[in-house]
Amino acid sequence: MIESLNKAFCALPGVGNKTAQRFVYHLLERNREGGFELAKALVDAMEHVQSCHSCRTLSEQQICTICANSTRDHSQLCIVETPTDIHAIEQSGVYSGLYFVLSGYLSPIDGIGADELGLDDLAQKLSNNSVSEIILATNATVEGEVTAHYISTMARQFEVKITRIAHGIPIGGELEYADMNTIAHALSGRKNYD
């Protein structure tokens, strides 16, 4: 029983045997109530959380709260890799448009193509002319860049402005500690100072 709980915890990302053991003994010795609550929350979420039918993020309703919010700008569509990216962008507080979640990136070697990323749904959305700008906010990794490039090519057949989030030195970051690729991007993406 202790062993199988240990093993079940190891299924979580970044949790090895030692960490799992710490979780198990903490719950058993100090917080059994918390253990029951976690079990209940797990079953609730695993059973009821689904994908938003519009933007594919994880949601408790068929249409997530962001897509259902009529005060947001429905003409902007920010394309992200995961639901956590939405959370990060929302916290910045500067974006009030909608999102589209790919749930991953193009990776033919893992069998992840346009279908798995829901690019048909995206094309469908773009074809009815309600979207005027798509913002490609995939990660600044090789896979993210390839995915952004693929989507931009696909989106060119529609009348839509295609933008990519800016890459450069992070705020608070020091040039000295930035890697050469970031500096190269920061230089080539320089803007007029006004």
Where does this chain bind a copy of itself (CB under 8 A)?
1-2, 4-5, 7-9, 11-14, 19, 21-29, 31-32, 34-46, 48-49, 58, 60, 82-84, 87, 103
| Min dist. Cβ of residue 14 to a copy of itself (A) | 7
CA gap 105, 131 in Å, rounded? 22
| Min dist. Cβ of residue 78 to a copy of itself (A) | 18
Q: Which is nearer to a copy of itself, 76 or 99 (CB)?
A: 99
Q: Cβ(66)–Cβ(72) under 8 Å?
A: yes
Q: Which is nearer to a copy of itself, 20 or 126 (CB)?
A: 20
| Min dist. Cβ of residue 13 to a copy of itself (A) | 5
HEC-encoded secondary structure of 25-85? HHHHHHCHHHHHHHHHHHHHHHHHCEECCCCCCEECCCCCHHHHCCCCEEEEEEEECCHHH
Query: Taking Cα atoms as reference points, which of 170, 131, 168, 181 lies closest to residue 151?
Result: 131
Q: Which is nearer to a copy of itself, 93 or 175 (CB)?
A: 93
| Min dist. Cβ of residue 185 to a copy of itself (A) | 25
Q: Cβ(76)–Cβ(131) under 8 Å?
A: yes
Q: Which is nearer to a copy of itself, 31 or 181 (CB)?
A: 31
Q: Which is nearer to a copy of itself, 9 or 151 (CB)?
A: 9
Give how far Cα 142 sits from Cα of 75, 147, 180, Å.
28, 9, 15
| Min dist. Cβ of residue 29 to a copy of itself (A) | 7
